[in-house]
Chains A and B, each alone.
Chain A
Amino acid sequence: MLSVAPEALARLLWFAFYPIVMAPVAGEEYGRVFCRSLVALPFVVLIGIFNPFYQTEAVFTIGGVTVTRGWITFISIIVRTLLSVQSLLILVDSVGFTGLCRSLQRIGVPSVLTTQLMMVYRYMTVLLQESLDMTRARQARGYRGSNMSLNMWGTYCGQLFLRTVARSERIHRAMLARGFDGSIPVLKEDRIWKGKDTVAVILSIGVLALFKWGPLPTFFVFNF
Protein backbone atom coordinates (compact mmCIF):
# COMPACT_ATOMS: atom_id res chain seq x y z
CA MET A 1 0.00 0.00 0.00
CA LEU A 2 2.74 2.37 0.96
CA SER A 3 4.57 1.83 -2.27
CA VAL A 4 4.49 5.26 -3.78
CA ALA A 5 7.63 6.51 -5.47
CA PRO A 6 10.31 7.51 -2.97
CA GLU A 7 10.16 11.09 -4.22
CA ALA A 8 6.44 11.57 -3.73
CA LEU A 9 6.63 12.56 -0.11
CA ALA A 10 3.52 14.70 -0.26
CA ARG A 11 1.45 11.79 -1.40
CA LEU A 12 3.00 9.50 1.16
CA LEU A 13 2.06 11.82 3.98
CA TRP A 14 -1.56 11.38 3.10
CA PHE A 15 -1.35 7.85 4.35
CA ALA A 16 -0.72 9.19 7.82
CA PHE A 17 -4.42 10.01 7.98
CA TYR A 18 -5.04 6.32 8.25
CA PRO A 19 -3.32 5.65 11.62
CA ILE A 20 -4.31 9.06 12.96
CA VAL A 21 -7.98 8.39 12.31
CA MET A 22 -7.91 4.67 13.11
CA ALA A 23 -6.19 5.06 16.46
CA PRO A 24 -9.12 6.78 18.17
CA VAL A 25 -11.54 4.42 16.44
CA ALA A 26 -9.63 1.55 18.06
CA GLY A 27 -9.70 3.46 21.34
CA GLU A 28 -6.13 4.66 21.51
CA GLU A 29 -4.21 7.87 21.55
CA TYR A 30 -2.24 8.46 18.40
CA GLY A 31 0.56 10.09 20.37
CA ARG A 32 1.30 6.89 22.21
CA VAL A 33 1.16 4.81 19.07
CA PHE A 34 3.54 7.27 17.46
CA CYS A 35 6.04 7.04 20.31
CA ARG A 36 5.95 3.27 20.29
CA SER A 37 6.52 3.21 16.55
CA LEU A 38 9.82 5.05 17.01
CA VAL A 39 11.53 1.81 18.07
CA ALA A 40 11.64 0.84 14.41
CA LEU A 41 13.88 3.78 13.53
CA PRO A 42 17.50 2.68 14.05
CA PHE A 43 17.71 0.04 11.32
CA VAL A 44 15.94 2.19 8.77
CA VAL A 45 18.03 5.24 9.55
CA LEU A 46 21.12 3.10 9.09
CA ILE A 47 20.06 2.08 5.60
CA GLY A 48 18.37 5.30 4.58
CA ILE A 49 21.13 7.65 5.72
CA PHE A 50 23.07 6.82 2.58
CA ASN A 51 20.47 8.39 0.34
CA PRO A 52 21.45 12.02 1.07
CA PHE A 53 25.04 11.18 0.09
CA TYR A 54 24.18 9.56 -3.19
CA GLN A 55 21.29 11.67 -4.39
CA THR A 56 22.77 15.11 -4.19
CA GLU A 57 20.86 16.99 -6.87
CA ALA A 58 19.05 19.99 -5.42
CA VAL A 59 15.30 19.92 -5.39
CA PHE A 60 14.28 23.19 -3.81
CA THR A 61 15.63 25.74 -1.39
CA ILE A 62 13.98 27.07 1.71
CA GLY A 63 15.48 30.24 3.08
CA GLY A 64 18.92 29.56 1.67
CA VAL A 65 19.05 25.87 2.71
CA THR A 66 19.19 23.58 -0.26
CA VAL A 67 17.18 20.41 0.07
CA THR A 68 18.48 17.57 -2.07
CA ARG A 69 16.55 14.65 -3.47
CA GLY A 70 18.46 12.36 -1.11
CA TRP A 71 17.03 14.06 1.94
CA ILE A 72 13.54 13.80 0.58
CA THR A 73 13.86 10.09 -0.10
CA PHE A 74 15.50 9.63 3.30
CA ILE A 75 12.56 11.29 5.04
CA SER A 76 10.20 9.31 2.88
CA ILE A 77 11.80 6.02 3.95
CA ILE A 78 11.41 6.99 7.59
CA VAL A 79 7.83 8.15 7.18
CA ARG A 80 6.87 4.97 5.44
CA THR A 81 8.42 2.84 8.20
CA LEU A 82 6.65 4.75 10.93
CA LEU A 83 3.33 4.52 9.14
CA SER A 84 3.50 0.79 8.54
CA VAL A 85 4.57 0.15 12.12
CA GLN A 86 1.80 2.36 13.46
CA SER A 87 -0.95 0.64 11.51
CA LEU A 88 0.41 -2.67 12.73
CA LEU A 89 0.41 -1.55 16.36
CA ILE A 90 -3.16 -0.34 16.05
CA LEU A 91 -4.21 -3.62 14.49
CA VAL A 92 -2.63 -5.77 17.20
CA ASP A 93 -3.82 -3.53 20.02
CA SER A 94 -7.40 -3.49 18.84
CA VAL A 95 -7.94 -7.18 18.09
CA GLY A 96 -5.39 -8.59 20.49
CA PHE A 97 -2.81 -11.12 19.45
CA THR A 98 -4.96 -14.18 20.03
CA GLY A 99 -7.91 -12.54 18.32
CA LEU A 100 -5.67 -12.07 15.34
CA CYS A 101 -4.58 -15.72 15.42
CA ARG A 102 -8.16 -16.88 15.55
CA SER A 103 -9.17 -14.65 12.66
CA LEU A 104 -6.22 -16.00 10.69
CA GLN A 105 -7.38 -19.53 11.40
CA ARG A 106 -10.89 -18.66 10.22
CA ILE A 107 -9.66 -17.29 6.91
CA GLY A 108 -7.85 -20.55 6.24
CA VAL A 109 -4.34 -20.22 7.64
CA PRO A 110 -3.24 -23.76 8.62
CA SER A 111 -4.07 -24.53 12.24
CA VAL A 112 -0.55 -25.88 12.75
CA LEU A 113 0.72 -22.31 12.35
CA THR A 114 -1.98 -20.51 14.33
CA THR A 115 -1.70 -22.98 17.20
CA GLN A 116 2.05 -22.53 17.11
CA LEU A 117 1.68 -18.75 17.34
CA MET A 118 -0.69 -19.00 20.27
CA MET A 119 1.60 -21.43 22.08
CA VAL A 120 4.67 -19.26 21.59
CA TYR A 121 2.75 -16.23 22.79
CA ARG A 122 1.51 -18.13 25.81
CA TYR A 123 4.88 -19.53 26.88
CA MET A 124 7.02 -16.53 26.00
CA THR A 125 6.49 -14.96 29.42
CA VAL A 126 6.87 -18.28 31.22
CA LEU A 127 10.22 -18.99 29.62
CA LEU A 128 11.47 -15.45 29.99
CA GLN A 129 10.74 -15.80 33.71
CA GLU A 130 12.60 -19.10 33.76
CA SER A 131 15.56 -17.57 31.98
CA LEU A 132 15.52 -14.63 34.37
CA ASP A 133 15.54 -17.05 37.31
CA MET A 134 18.58 -18.80 35.86
CA THR A 135 20.35 -15.49 35.37
CA ARG A 136 19.62 -14.49 38.95
CA ALA A 137 20.86 -17.82 40.23
CA ARG A 138 24.08 -17.20 38.34
CA GLN A 139 24.46 -13.72 39.75
CA ALA A 140 23.68 -14.96 43.24
CA ARG A 141 26.66 -17.25 42.95
CA GLY A 142 28.88 -14.30 42.34
CA TYR A 143 29.17 -13.95 38.58
CA ARG A 144 29.45 -10.32 37.66
CA GLY A 145 28.57 -8.50 34.49
CA SER A 146 25.64 -8.99 32.19
CA ASN A 147 27.47 -10.90 29.48
CA MET A 148 28.52 -14.49 29.66
CA SER A 149 31.41 -16.08 27.90
CA LEU A 150 30.35 -18.06 24.88
CA ASN A 151 30.98 -21.34 26.65
CA MET A 152 28.91 -20.42 29.65
CA TRP A 153 26.19 -19.13 27.38
CA GLY A 154 26.14 -22.48 25.59
CA THR A 155 25.64 -24.24 28.89
CA TYR A 156 22.97 -21.79 29.92
CA CYS A 157 21.13 -22.10 26.64
CA GLY A 158 21.51 -25.87 26.59
CA GLN A 159 20.15 -26.03 30.13
CA LEU A 160 17.23 -23.87 29.09
CA PHE A 161 16.66 -26.20 26.15
CA LEU A 162 16.53 -29.25 28.41
CA ARG A 163 14.03 -27.50 30.66
CA THR A 164 12.05 -26.56 27.59
CA VAL A 165 11.90 -30.15 26.42
CA ALA A 166 10.83 -31.30 29.89
CA ARG A 167 8.15 -28.64 29.98
CA SER A 168 6.89 -29.58 26.54
CA GLU A 169 6.51 -33.16 27.78
CA ARG A 170 4.47 -32.01 30.78
CA ILE A 171 2.29 -29.80 28.61
CA HIS A 172 1.78 -32.62 26.18
CA ARG A 173 0.61 -34.85 29.03
CA ALA A 174 -1.79 -32.17 30.24
CA MET A 175 -3.15 -31.97 26.71
CA LEU A 176 -3.51 -35.73 26.38
CA ALA A 177 -5.23 -35.95 29.75
CA ARG A 178 -7.93 -33.70 28.38
CA GLY A 179 -8.53 -35.63 25.20
CA PHE A 180 -6.03 -33.98 22.84
CA ASP A 181 -5.91 -35.84 19.55
CA GLY A 182 -3.42 -33.86 17.52
CA SER A 183 -5.33 -30.68 16.80
CA ILE A 184 -6.52 -27.88 19.03
CA PRO A 185 -10.27 -27.33 18.78
CA VAL A 186 -11.69 -23.83 18.58
CA LEU A 187 -14.73 -22.59 20.42
CA LYS A 188 -17.09 -21.03 17.88
CA GLU A 189 -17.39 -17.30 18.25
CA ASP A 190 -20.73 -15.64 18.81
CA ARG A 191 -19.68 -12.74 16.69
CA ILE A 192 -19.91 -13.23 12.99
CA TRP A 193 -19.18 -11.04 10.02
CA LYS A 194 -21.73 -8.24 9.94
CA GLY A 195 -22.76 -5.85 7.18
CA LYS A 196 -20.99 -3.12 9.12
CA ASP A 197 -17.68 -4.93 8.74
CA THR A 198 -18.06 -5.15 4.97
CA VAL A 199 -18.72 -1.43 4.78
CA ALA A 200 -15.64 -0.76 6.91
CA VAL A 201 -13.41 -2.88 4.68
CA ILE A 202 -14.66 -1.29 1.47
CA LEU A 203 -14.31 2.17 2.96
CA SER A 204 -10.72 1.53 4.09
CA ILE A 205 -9.71 0.13 0.73
CA GLY A 206 -11.38 3.05 -1.02
CA VAL A 207 -9.64 5.65 1.12
CA LEU A 208 -6.25 3.97 0.74
CA ALA A 209 -6.75 3.73 -3.02
CA LEU A 210 -7.58 7.41 -3.08
CA PHE A 211 -4.37 8.18 -1.24
CA LYS A 212 -2.39 6.14 -3.70
CA TRP A 213 -3.90 7.08 -7.05
CA GLY A 214 -6.61 9.65 -6.58
CA PRO A 215 -6.34 13.39 -7.18
CA LEU A 216 -5.35 14.98 -3.90
CA PRO A 217 -5.92 18.63 -3.13
CA THR A 218 -3.10 20.80 -1.82
CA PHE A 219 -4.35 22.61 1.21
CA PHE A 220 -2.01 25.52 1.58
CA VAL A 221 0.26 27.18 -0.87
CA PHE A 222 3.34 28.88 0.45
CA ASN A 223 5.28 31.35 -1.59
CA PHE A 224 8.97 31.76 -1.08
Chain B
Amino acid sequence: MSDALLSAPVAVAADVVAAGLLVVASLRIKKNASDNAVALMGVMGAFVFAAQMVNFSVPGTGSSGHIVGGVLLGALLGPWAGFLTLTSVLIIQCLIFADGGLMALGCNVLNMAAMTTLVSYPLVMRPLLHYPAAPWKVMAVSVMACIVGLELGACMVTVETIASHITALPPNRFFLLMTGIHLAIGVVEGLATGAVLLFVQRSRPELLQPDAIHRDTRRNVRGAVIGFAMAAAVIAGGLAFLASEDPDGLEWSIERVAGTSELEAEHVGALSQVAEAAQQSTAVMPDYEGSFAGIAGTVMVLILVWVLSSLLVRSRRRQKEKA
Protein backbone atom coordinates (compact mmCIF):
# COMPACT_ATOMS: atom_id res chain seq x y z
CA MET B 1 0.00 0.00 0.00
CA SER B 2 1.28 3.42 -0.87
CA ASP B 3 0.48 7.00 0.01
CA ALA B 4 -0.40 7.75 -3.57
CA LEU B 5 -3.38 5.42 -3.61
CA LEU B 6 -4.92 6.56 -0.36
CA SER B 7 -7.21 9.43 0.38
CA ALA B 8 -6.64 11.30 3.62
CA PRO B 9 -9.74 10.04 5.49
CA VAL B 10 -8.94 6.39 4.78
CA ALA B 11 -5.27 6.81 5.66
CA VAL B 12 -6.03 8.69 8.86
CA ALA B 13 -8.64 6.15 9.93
CA ALA B 14 -6.14 3.33 9.42
CA ASP B 15 -3.41 5.30 11.20
CA VAL B 16 -5.68 5.77 14.20
CA VAL B 17 -6.62 2.10 14.40
CA ALA B 18 -3.00 1.00 13.94
CA ALA B 19 -1.87 3.43 16.63
CA GLY B 20 -4.54 2.06 18.93
CA LEU B 21 -3.37 -1.50 18.36
CA LEU B 22 0.20 -0.41 19.02
CA VAL B 23 -0.74 1.15 22.33
CA VAL B 24 -2.58 -2.03 23.32
CA ALA B 25 0.45 -4.10 22.27
CA SER B 26 2.84 -1.86 24.22
CA LEU B 27 0.73 -2.03 27.36
CA ARG B 28 0.36 -5.80 27.16
CA ILE B 29 4.05 -6.33 26.56
CA LYS B 30 4.97 -4.02 29.41
CA LYS B 31 2.63 -5.88 31.73
CA ASN B 32 3.10 -9.48 30.70
CA ALA B 33 6.42 -9.99 29.02
CA SER B 34 9.57 -10.99 30.82
CA ASP B 35 12.09 -8.17 30.72
CA ASN B 36 14.36 -9.93 28.24
CA ALA B 37 11.59 -9.24 25.74
CA VAL B 38 13.14 -5.82 25.07
CA ALA B 39 16.35 -7.38 23.80
CA LEU B 40 14.67 -10.33 22.08
CA MET B 41 12.11 -8.27 20.18
CA GLY B 42 14.73 -5.73 19.19
CA VAL B 43 17.09 -8.27 17.70
CA MET B 44 14.21 -10.19 16.14
CA GLY B 45 13.23 -7.06 14.23
CA ALA B 46 16.75 -6.95 12.86
CA PHE B 47 16.43 -10.68 12.13
CA VAL B 48 13.47 -9.98 9.84
CA PHE B 49 15.63 -7.62 7.79
CA ALA B 50 18.42 -10.16 7.56
CA ALA B 51 16.00 -12.96 6.65
CA GLN B 52 14.44 -10.83 3.92
CA MET B 53 17.86 -10.13 2.43
CA VAL B 54 18.44 -13.70 1.33
CA ASN B 55 16.11 -15.00 -1.33
CA PHE B 56 15.07 -18.57 -1.87
CA SER B 57 13.97 -20.10 -5.13
CA VAL B 58 10.26 -20.63 -5.37
CA PRO B 59 9.52 -24.30 -6.04
CA GLY B 60 8.08 -25.03 -9.47
CA THR B 61 9.03 -21.65 -10.92
CA GLY B 62 12.28 -20.06 -11.91
CA SER B 63 11.78 -17.04 -9.71
CA SER B 64 12.94 -16.21 -6.23
CA GLY B 65 11.17 -14.76 -3.24
CA HIS B 66 11.48 -13.58 0.30
CA ILE B 67 9.07 -13.51 3.18
CA VAL B 68 7.30 -10.77 5.09
CA GLY B 69 7.39 -12.92 8.19
CA GLY B 70 4.15 -12.09 9.98
CA VAL B 71 3.05 -15.62 10.80
CA LEU B 72 6.64 -16.61 11.57
CA LEU B 73 7.04 -13.78 14.09
CA GLY B 74 3.68 -14.70 15.60
CA ALA B 75 4.83 -18.28 16.01
CA LEU B 76 8.22 -17.35 17.47
CA LEU B 77 7.29 -14.40 19.69
CA GLY B 78 3.54 -14.64 20.26
CA PRO B 79 0.87 -12.38 18.75
CA TRP B 80 1.48 -9.03 20.44
CA ALA B 81 5.26 -9.14 20.57
CA GLY B 82 5.23 -10.38 16.98
CA PHE B 83 2.90 -7.56 15.99
CA LEU B 84 5.06 -4.90 17.61
CA THR B 85 8.21 -6.37 16.09
CA LEU B 86 6.82 -6.53 12.56
CA THR B 87 5.36 -3.04 12.95
CA SER B 88 8.77 -1.70 13.91
CA VAL B 89 10.19 -3.30 10.78
CA LEU B 90 7.48 -1.67 8.66
CA ILE B 91 8.12 1.70 10.28
CA ILE B 92 11.83 1.47 9.55
CA GLN B 93 11.18 0.36 5.99
CA CYS B 94 8.90 3.34 5.61
CA LEU B 95 11.25 5.89 7.19
CA ILE B 96 14.61 4.75 5.93
CA PHE B 97 13.90 2.89 2.73
CA ALA B 98 10.96 5.10 1.81
CA ASP B 99 8.72 2.10 1.41
CA GLY B 100 5.04 3.00 1.10
CA GLY B 101 4.93 6.41 2.70
CA LEU B 102 4.06 7.86 6.05
CA MET B 103 0.33 8.24 5.49
CA ALA B 104 0.03 4.66 4.30
CA LEU B 105 1.90 3.34 7.32
CA GLY B 106 -1.28 2.72 9.27
CA CYS B 107 -2.74 0.73 6.39
CA ASN B 108 0.44 -1.28 6.00
CA VAL B 109 0.55 -2.06 9.70
CA LEU B 110 -3.04 -3.32 9.59
CA ASN B 111 -2.71 -5.19 6.30
CA MET B 112 0.66 -6.81 6.81
CA ALA B 113 1.29 -6.98 10.55
CA ALA B 114 -2.10 -7.12 12.28
CA MET B 115 -3.76 -9.57 9.88
CA THR B 116 -0.94 -12.09 10.24
CA THR B 117 0.24 -11.79 13.84
CA LEU B 118 -3.01 -10.81 15.55
CA VAL B 119 -5.55 -12.66 13.43
CA SER B 120 -4.11 -15.47 11.39
CA TYR B 121 -1.54 -16.77 13.88
CA PRO B 122 -3.77 -16.95 16.97
CA LEU B 123 -6.93 -18.01 15.12
CA VAL B 124 -5.47 -20.42 12.58
CA MET B 125 -2.01 -21.58 13.49
CA ARG B 126 -2.07 -21.76 17.25
CA PRO B 127 -5.24 -23.85 17.59
CA LEU B 128 -4.13 -26.26 14.85
CA LEU B 129 -0.45 -26.71 15.60
CA HIS B 130 0.78 -28.36 18.79
CA TYR B 131 4.48 -29.07 19.00
CA PRO B 132 6.01 -31.49 18.42
CA ALA B 133 4.12 -31.98 15.18
CA ALA B 134 4.77 -34.06 12.09
CA PRO B 135 6.65 -32.17 9.36
CA TRP B 136 3.75 -32.32 6.90
CA LYS B 137 1.46 -30.86 9.54
CA VAL B 138 3.82 -27.98 10.31
CA MET B 139 4.00 -27.25 6.60
CA ALA B 140 0.27 -27.54 5.99
CA VAL B 141 -0.70 -25.34 8.92
CA SER B 142 1.96 -22.75 8.01
CA VAL B 143 0.68 -22.54 4.46
CA MET B 144 -2.89 -22.27 5.68
CA ALA B 145 -2.10 -19.56 8.21
CA CYS B 146 -0.07 -17.57 5.70
CA ILE B 147 -2.77 -17.77 3.04
CA VAL B 148 -5.42 -16.62 5.51
CA GLY B 149 -3.20 -13.80 6.78
CA LEU B 150 -2.16 -12.56 3.38
CA GLU B 151 -5.61 -12.84 1.84
CA LEU B 152 -7.06 -10.82 4.69
CA GLY B 153 -4.37 -8.28 4.01
CA ALA B 154 -5.24 -8.28 0.32
CA CYS B 155 -8.90 -7.69 1.14
CA MET B 156 -7.92 -4.78 3.33
CA VAL B 157 -5.80 -3.31 0.55
CA THR B 158 -8.72 -3.58 -1.85
CA VAL B 159 -11.14 -1.92 0.52
CA GLU B 160 -8.72 0.84 1.41
CA THR B 161 -7.84 1.55 -2.19
CA ILE B 162 -11.39 1.58 -3.41
CA ALA B 163 -12.57 3.71 -0.53
CA SER B 164 -9.89 6.19 -1.51
CA HIS B 165 -11.12 6.63 -5.12
CA ILE B 166 -7.67 7.33 -6.50
CA THR B 167 -6.98 4.40 -8.78
CA ALA B 168 -9.35 3.98 -11.68
CA LEU B 169 -9.04 0.20 -11.65
CA PRO B 170 -12.51 -1.32 -11.25
CA PRO B 171 -12.94 -2.81 -7.77
CA ASN B 172 -13.76 -6.34 -8.88
CA ARG B 173 -10.68 -6.57 -11.08
CA PHE B 174 -8.55 -5.02 -8.38
CA PHE B 175 -9.91 -7.47 -5.87
CA LEU B 176 -9.24 -10.46 -8.13
CA LEU B 177 -5.76 -9.19 -8.92
CA MET B 178 -4.88 -8.68 -5.26
CA THR B 179 -6.32 -11.93 -3.95
CA GLY B 180 -4.84 -13.89 -6.84
CA ILE B 181 -1.36 -12.55 -6.28
CA HIS B 182 -1.62 -13.01 -2.55
CA LEU B 183 -2.81 -16.58 -2.85
CA ALA B 184 0.43 -17.41 -4.60
CA ILE B 185 2.52 -15.32 -2.20
CA GLY B 186 0.72 -16.93 0.73
CA VAL B 187 1.62 -20.44 -0.41
CA VAL B 188 5.28 -19.52 -0.81
CA GLU B 189 5.42 -17.61 2.46
CA GLY B 190 3.75 -20.56 4.16
CA LEU B 191 6.30 -23.03 2.82
CA ALA B 192 9.16 -20.79 3.93
CA THR B 193 7.62 -20.23 7.35
CA GLY B 194 7.09 -23.97 7.75
CA ALA B 195 10.69 -24.67 6.78
CA VAL B 196 11.99 -22.37 9.52
CA LEU B 197 9.59 -23.75 12.13
CA LEU B 198 10.65 -27.29 11.24
CA PHE B 199 14.30 -26.41 11.73
CA VAL B 200 13.63 -24.81 15.10
CA GLN B 201 11.50 -27.78 16.15
CA ARG B 202 14.36 -30.12 15.27
CA SER B 203 17.17 -28.19 16.95
CA ARG B 204 15.72 -26.15 19.81
CA PRO B 205 12.13 -27.29 20.39
CA GLU B 206 11.97 -25.47 23.73
CA LEU B 207 12.00 -22.13 21.89
CA LEU B 208 8.63 -23.00 20.38
CA GLN B 209 7.09 -23.68 23.78
CA PRO B 210 4.99 -20.83 25.12
CA ASP B 211 7.34 -18.84 27.34
CA ALA B 212 6.91 -15.66 29.30
CA ILE B 213 6.44 -13.59 26.18
CA HIS B 214 3.48 -15.57 25.04
CA ARG B 215 1.85 -16.77 28.19
CA ASP B 216 -1.83 -16.23 29.02
CA THR B 217 -3.03 -17.89 25.87
CA ARG B 218 -6.71 -17.44 26.45
CA ARG B 219 -6.55 -13.69 26.83
CA ASN B 220 -4.36 -13.42 23.79
CA VAL B 221 -7.11 -14.98 21.74
CA ARG B 222 -9.50 -12.45 23.13
CA GLY B 223 -7.04 -9.73 22.18
CA ALA B 224 -6.89 -11.10 18.68
CA VAL B 225 -10.64 -11.09 18.45
CA ILE B 226 -10.64 -7.47 19.56
CA GLY B 227 -8.00 -6.73 16.92
CA PHE B 228 -10.12 -8.47 14.33
CA ALA B 229 -13.19 -6.52 15.39
CA MET B 230 -11.25 -3.29 15.05
CA ALA B 231 -10.06 -4.29 11.61
CA ALA B 232 -13.63 -5.10 10.67
CA ALA B 233 -14.64 -1.70 11.97
CA VAL B 234 -12.11 -0.06 9.67
CA ILE B 235 -13.42 -2.01 6.73
CA ALA B 236 -16.95 -1.10 7.63
CA GLY B 237 -15.93 2.50 8.13
CA GLY B 238 -14.24 2.48 4.75
CA LEU B 239 -17.38 1.09 3.17
CA ALA B 240 -19.54 3.65 4.90
CA PHE B 241 -17.24 6.37 3.65
CA LEU B 242 -17.50 4.95 0.19
CA ALA B 243 -21.25 4.92 0.47
CA SER B 244 -21.56 8.45 1.69
CA GLU B 245 -19.33 9.84 -1.03
CA ASP B 246 -20.61 7.81 -3.88
CA PRO B 247 -23.90 5.95 -3.57
CA ASP B 248 -22.83 3.30 -6.05
CA GLY B 249 -19.68 2.46 -4.14
CA LEU B 250 -21.37 0.33 -1.54
CA GLU B 251 -23.27 -1.57 -4.19
CA TRP B 252 -20.05 -2.48 -5.89
CA SER B 253 -18.59 -3.82 -2.74
CA ILE B 254 -21.67 -5.76 -1.74
CA GLU B 255 -21.96 -7.27 -5.15
CA ARG B 256 -18.28 -8.07 -5.11
CA VAL B 257 -18.65 -9.86 -1.82
CA ALA B 258 -21.75 -11.68 -3.05
CA GLY B 259 -19.84 -12.63 -6.18
CA THR B 260 -22.43 -11.45 -8.70
CA SER B 261 -21.18 -11.57 -12.21
CA GLU B 262 -23.50 -8.89 -13.60
CA LEU B 263 -21.06 -6.37 -12.33
CA GLU B 264 -19.67 -5.10 -15.58
CA ALA B 265 -22.63 -3.13 -16.90
CA GLU B 266 -23.48 -1.73 -13.53
CA HIS B 267 -19.90 -0.81 -13.06
CA VAL B 268 -19.46 1.17 -16.23
CA GLY B 269 -22.44 3.23 -15.19
CA ALA B 270 -20.86 3.91 -11.85
CA LEU B 271 -17.59 4.92 -13.39
CA SER B 272 -19.16 7.41 -15.73
CA GLN B 273 -21.03 8.87 -12.80
CA VAL B 274 -17.77 9.33 -10.96
CA ALA B 275 -16.31 10.93 -14.03
CA GLU B 276 -19.23 13.29 -14.25
CA ALA B 277 -18.94 14.21 -10.63
CA ALA B 278 -15.25 14.81 -11.08
CA GLN B 279 -15.87 17.02 -14.04
CA GLN B 280 -18.39 19.01 -12.10
CA SER B 281 -16.10 19.49 -9.18
CA THR B 282 -13.18 20.56 -11.30
CA ALA B 283 -15.36 22.97 -13.19
CA VAL B 284 -15.10 25.35 -10.28
CA MET B 285 -11.39 25.54 -10.97
CA PRO B 286 -10.05 26.82 -14.27
CA ASP B 287 -11.09 24.66 -17.23
CA TYR B 288 -8.73 22.03 -18.49
CA GLU B 289 -6.97 24.26 -20.97
CA GLY B 290 -6.31 26.74 -18.24
CA SER B 291 -5.16 24.01 -15.95
CA PHE B 292 -2.65 22.79 -18.49
CA ALA B 293 -1.24 26.29 -18.55
CA GLY B 294 -1.23 26.19 -14.78
CA ILE B 295 0.65 22.93 -14.81
CA ALA B 296 3.26 24.16 -17.23
CA GLY B 297 3.66 27.40 -15.33
CA THR B 298 3.98 25.70 -12.00
CA VAL B 299 6.54 23.26 -13.38
CA MET B 300 8.65 26.13 -14.65
CA VAL B 301 8.51 27.94 -11.35
CA LEU B 302 9.43 24.72 -9.59
CA ILE B 303 12.47 24.30 -11.77
CA LEU B 304 13.44 27.89 -11.06
CA VAL B 305 13.13 27.40 -7.31
CA TRP B 306 15.10 24.18 -7.56
CA VAL B 307 17.96 25.87 -9.39
CA LEU B 308 18.01 28.69 -6.86
CA SER B 309 17.94 26.35 -3.90
CA SER B 310 20.73 24.14 -5.23
CA LEU B 311 22.81 27.26 -5.81
CA LEU B 312 22.12 28.15 -2.22
CA VAL B 313 23.32 24.74 -1.02
CA ARG B 314 26.46 24.98 -3.08
CA SER B 315 27.39 28.42 -1.87
CA ARG B 316 26.73 27.36 1.68
CA ARG B 317 28.93 24.32 1.24
CA ARG B 318 31.69 26.50 -0.17
CA GLN B 319 31.42 28.75 2.85
CA LYS B 320 31.74 25.74 5.08
CA GLU B 321 34.79 24.53 3.25
CA LYS B 322 36.38 27.94 3.62
CA ALA B 323 35.65 28.01 7.33
B and A form one assembly: yes
User: Number of residue pairs across A and B with beta carbons under 8 Å?
Assistant: 322
Q: Is B242 on the interface with A (CB-CB < 8 A)?
A: no
A160 touches B8 (CB 8 A): no
A88 touches B95 (CB 8 A): yes
Chain B residues numbered 20-49 whose CB sits less than 8 Å from any CB in chain A = 22-23, 25-27, 29-30, 35-36, 38-47, 49
Chain B residues numbered 180-199 whose CB sits less than 8 Å from any CB in chain A = 191-192, 194-196, 198-199
B199 touches A158 (CB 8 A): yes
A81 touches B3 (CB 8 A): yes
Mostly, the B contact residues are: helix
Interface residues of B, count at CB 8 A: 102
Residues of chain A within 8 A of B5, CB atoms compared = 44, 47, 77
Residues of chain A within 8 A of B271, CB atoms compared = 54
Q: Is B273 on the interface with A (CB-CB < 8 A)?
A: no
B46 touches A153 (CB 8 A): no
Residue ranges of A at the interface with B (Cβ–Cβ < 8 Å)? 1-3, 5-11, 13-14, 16-17, 20-21, 23-24, 27-31, 36-37, 39-40, 43-44, 47-48, 50-51, 54-55, 57, 59-60, 62, 67, 69-70, 73, 77-78, 80-81, 84-85, 88-89, 92, 97, 100, 110-113, 115-124, 126-128, 130-131, 135, 146-162, 164-165, 167-169, 171-172, 175, 180-182, 184, 216, 218-222, 224
What are 7 A-B interface contacts by the 8 Å CB criterion? A13-B298, A23-B313, A47-B167, A119-B42, A150-B195, A157-B196, A161-B76
Residue ranges of B at the interface with A (Cβ–Cβ < 8 Å)? 2-8, 11, 22-23, 25-27, 29-30, 35-36, 38-47, 49-51, 53-59, 64, 76, 84-85, 87-89, 91-92, 94-99, 101-103, 161, 165-170, 191-192, 194-196, 198-200, 203-204, 207, 271, 275, 278, 281-282, 285-286, 288-302, 305-306, 309-310, 312-313, 316
